[in-house]
Chain A
């Protein structure tokens, strides 16, 4: 069943045409996200669907009938809108505001009926605002007020719920709580949801489908995987970004990339021996500072490896849970020989990566400058019964320098 159909619609404000040739259909029970840069017409789309802006051409069908032939009360019984901000002029109580959601169902000369109170009560239950019923809205926090506004929208019993950046100004806790609640209503009660988002991660996480609007036109529409591609993000938002899949639930998230990383020019080569997350900050700092960086040997499961991959660094990686083998070790030595400086972070040393310590000593003996990061004392991260500590002391004897922070490292090599 088609809930909403927009056909060849052009809409805007007075002389200013904002939306051009919009075609879309939203089925009953869909959860559709609308994304796009500031000023692209996202909010205008919400306003057009509810018939509060001028539509010059085309048609909007709501449950089969054209909104041009519906009066405001008819529309209000089918569509509810939650705006980003609501400023309420006078200090009404929460309960009074929620009951306003029943306005579309109340005739001018009628009072509220039993059913109206029931629906409003249900709305405050769903949104967990029962305790706020007697509170005046001017005393509520931003998050509480937004819940009340949602309760009011739910009291309206809409078939279609429109959210216009409804969670933008809420903290992450409220944001997730609110979107979870709306997702639940979408699933359990079949309320169709169209929500405008600035936050692409939230859009990707909650919406079944996305519409990407660019400069008043629909750029693309479909599953998040098809819409949120680096190419689309570059074309519409003008950013270089990577799209990752959340390993936990398979939803997408976006990581914009620094422009520095794109246009980097190498100063000199530095090889970093790290592991267990001890190299995260250093790798980024070195790349930002413009060095050509390589790293290894890292275990394939290591967090430093993931960081290195994001930073597009040359990595020597060993298979998961395996000690460093000869092949990888010689590959690593090649990288070391190609570098001017070798940095060893304060990684924990076990029998599996003891070879990495040995590589440091070999580098020293081959005449490379070696810097040892020493935030954690070697004795506390030595799981080899003293072998690592011995190698460490030997490096110092052979002229390795010690650095106490990432900043210190940069100072010493710069």
Chain B
């Protein structure tokens, strides 16, 4: 089975794309408790809304059209983007750090975003400025860690890891302090934001996130061979013609950007960026040319599934779901493949 997967990566990729499509469709069927729309009607509403083939289908109307097209679809598709972005970011981080314990949040992106979000809630900034403030704070934090992690013009991953740890704690403490200072209702909304949610996603958000994710994805993929060679160690990578410093800067930048743009809109969603690369590596092996695209699709599927559970359960925050459902699945994968992959 595993040999087959390693030898036919393209077939697996197509199969996974198909699974993603089915997951998206199935997810559109599932609503908040009490809202039931029939399967053919959901499919009809989705396809009639598409440009081109939409004209060939009958017109739909009613509140369920709004529910499907304006509420469920943007949310599901942002979920796909979020899953893709966090998985790619996590894969790239694990590659740069040569460590399967690395996550997209190693440079303090999530802690920075949380601080920005908490600050905007406390200051009473509007709904639309929150993601912007969170994003600026996330990237600012990442830049700070990156600056601290550079010695003599070289990026040392061990130093970077420790700098990230310290800055993460600093930002978390600042956020906790803001929560401590806030009145109860603001506390609740900060804490809820920190648990993550796709609830209330509008198309506009999707269209903002989409180009950033596409650009980030392409950048990381273009450096996939360098990511492979980096696994032999920085010095060996230099001997093999890799501009190690440049590669690290570009990849750290792209990975932080991917993670920051997602969490700024959705709140912190942990686990995905840590676990999906790892789980995918069990299937595809460590070659980033196969690993990156496969992890992206698996991440998308996983995120949509978790968000569907969140929706069906009356909006339990997705950050809770990803850990609650992802961890046992991951443990299963780990036990099954123990000793085979070296991790």
Q: Is B52 among interface residues, defined by CB-CB distance under 8 A? A: no
Which one of B43-51, B177-185, B197-205, B280-288 is at the interface?
B280-288
A261 CB to closest chain B CB (Å) equals 43
Q: Is B128 among interface residues, defined by CB-CB distance under 8 A? A: no
Do A109 and B222 touch across chains, with their CB atoms under 8 A apart?
yes
CA distance A385 to B131 in the complex (A): 107
Contact residues of B: prevailing secondary structure: loop
Do A91 and B239 touch across chains, with their CB atoms under 8 A apart?
no
Q: A91-B285, A91-B286, A100-B232 are in contact. Are A108 and B222 (CB under 8 A)?
A: yes
List B211-242 residues whose CB lies under 8 Å from chain A: 222, 225, 228-233, 235-236, 238-242
B89 CB to closest chain A CB (Å) equals 17
Chain B residue at minimal CB-CB distance from A87: B233
Do A101 and B240 touch across chains, with their CB atoms under 8 A apart?
yes
Q: Which of A71, A90, A101 contacts B286 (CB 8 A)?
A: A90
Interface size on B, residues (CB 8 A): 28
CA distance A73 to B232 in the complex (A): 16
A147 CB to closest chain B CB (Å) equals 15
Q: A77-B241, A92-B286 are in contact. Are A14 and B236 (CB under 8 A)?
A: no
Q: Is A89 among interface residues, defined by CB-CB distance under 8 A? A: yes
Q: Is A136 among interface residues, defined by CB-CB distance under 8 A? A: yes
Do A103 and B229 touch across chains, with their CB atoms under 8 A apart?
yes
Q: Which of A77, A97, A106 contacts B232 (CB 8 A)?
A: A97
Q: A92-B228, A138-B342 are in contact. Are A81 and B236 (CB under 8 A)?
A: yes
CA distance A109 to B221 in the complex (A): 10
Q: Is A265 among interface residues, defined by CB-CB distance under 8 A? A: no
Residues of B within 8 A of A103 (CB): 225, 229, 240-242
Q: Is A190 among interface residues, defined by CB-CB distance under 8 A? A: no
Do B242 and A72 touch across chains, with their CB atoms under 8 A apart?
yes
A52 CB to closest chain B CB (Å) equals 5
Do B231 and A72 touch across chains, with their CB atoms under 8 A apart?
no
Q: Is A86 among interface residues, defined by CB-CB distance under 8 A? A: yes
A195 CB to closest chain B CB (Å) equals 15
Do A89 and B225 touch across chains, with their CB atoms under 8 A apart?
no
B343 CB to closest chain A CB (Å) equals 7
Q: Which of A75, A109, A139 contacts B241 (CB 8 A)?
A: A75
Q: Is A79 among interface residues, defined by CB-CB distance under 8 A? A: yes
A84 CB to closest chain B CB (Å) equals 11
List B147-162 residues whose CB lies under 8 Å from chain A: 152
Do A96 and B242 touch across chains, with their CB atoms under 8 A apart?
no
A169 CB to closest chain B CB (Å) equals 16
Do B222 and A81 touch across chains, with their CB atoms under 8 A apart?
no
Chain A residue at minimal CB-CB distance from B239: A81
Do A89 and B99 touch across chains, with their CB atoms under 8 A apart?
yes
Residues of A within 8 A of B228 (CB): 92, 96, 100
Q: Is A104 among interface residues, defined by CB-CB distance under 8 A? A: yes
Q: Is B36 among interface residues, defined by CB-CB distance under 8 A? A: no
Do B238 and A72 touch across chains, with their CB atoms under 8 A apart?
yes
A67 CB to closest chain B CB (Å) equals 12
B90 CB to closest chain A CB (Å) equals 14
Interface centre among B99, B233, B241 (most CB of A within 10 A): B241
Residues of A within 8 A of B241 (CB): 72-73, 75-77, 103-104
CA distance A90 to B99 in the complex (A): 8
Q: Is A23 among interface residues, defined by CB-CB distance under 8 A? A: no
Q: Is A262 among interface residues, defined by CB-CB distance under 8 A? A: no
A9 CB to closest chain B CB (Å) equals 18
List B271-319 residues whose CB lies under 8 Å from chain A: 281, 285-287
List B79-133 residues whose CB lies under 8 Å from chain A: 95, 98-100
Interface centre among A52, A90, A93 (most CB of B within 10 A): A90
A215 CB to closest chain B CB (Å) equals 24
Residues of A within 8 A of B233 (CB): 83, 86-87
Chain B residue at minimal CB-CB distance from A162: B239
Residues of A within 8 A of B240 (CB): 76, 100-101, 103-104, 156
CA distance A86 to B228 in the complex (A): 14
Residues of A within 8 A of B281 (CB): 90
Chain B residue at minimal CB-CB distance from A73: B241
Q: Is B188 among interface residues, defined by CB-CB distance under 8 A? A: no
CA distance A89 to B241 in the complex (A): 19
Do B235 and A106 touch across chains, with their CB atoms under 8 A apart?
no
Do B341 and A52 touch across chains, with their CB atoms under 8 A apart?
no
B339 CB to closest chain A CB (Å) equals 9
CA distance A77 to B230 in the complex (A): 17
Do B225 and A88 touch across chains, with their CB atoms under 8 A apart?
no
A162 CB to closest chain B CB (Å) equals 8
CA distance A138 to B235 in the complex (A): 19
Q: Is A295 among interface residues, defined by CB-CB distance under 8 A? A: no
Cβ contacts A149-166/B at 8 Å (1 or 0 each): 000000010000000000
Residues of B within 8 A of A89 (CB): 95, 98-99, 230-231, 286
Do A93 and B229 touch across chains, with their CB atoms under 8 A apart?
no
List B316-336 residues whose CB lies under 8 Å from chain A: none
A88 CB to closest chain B CB (Å) equals 6
Do A88 and B229 touch across chains, with their CB atoms under 8 A apart?
no
Do B231 and A90 touch across chains, with their CB atoms under 8 A apart?
yes
17 pairs from A and B in contact (CB 8 Å cutoff): A14-B152, A50-B239, A72-B238, A72-B242, A83-B235, A89-B98, A89-B99, A89-B231, A90-B98, A90-B343, A91-B286, A92-B228, A92-B286, A101-B240, A103-B225, A108-B222, A139-B342
The chain B residues found within 8 Å of chain A, CB to CB, are: 95, 98-100, 152, 222, 225, 228-233, 235-236, 238-243, 281, 285-287, 341-343
Question: Closest 9 CB pairs between A and B?
Answer: A76-B241, A89-B98, A90-B286, A104-B241, A91-B342, A138-B342, A73-B241, A89-B231, A81-B239
Additional A-B contact list (13), CB under 8 Å, known A50-B239, A75-B241, A108-B222: A52-B239, A76-B241, A83-B233, A83-B235, A88-B231, A90-B231, A91-B341, A96-B285, A100-B228, A100-B240, A103-B242, A136-B342, A138-B342
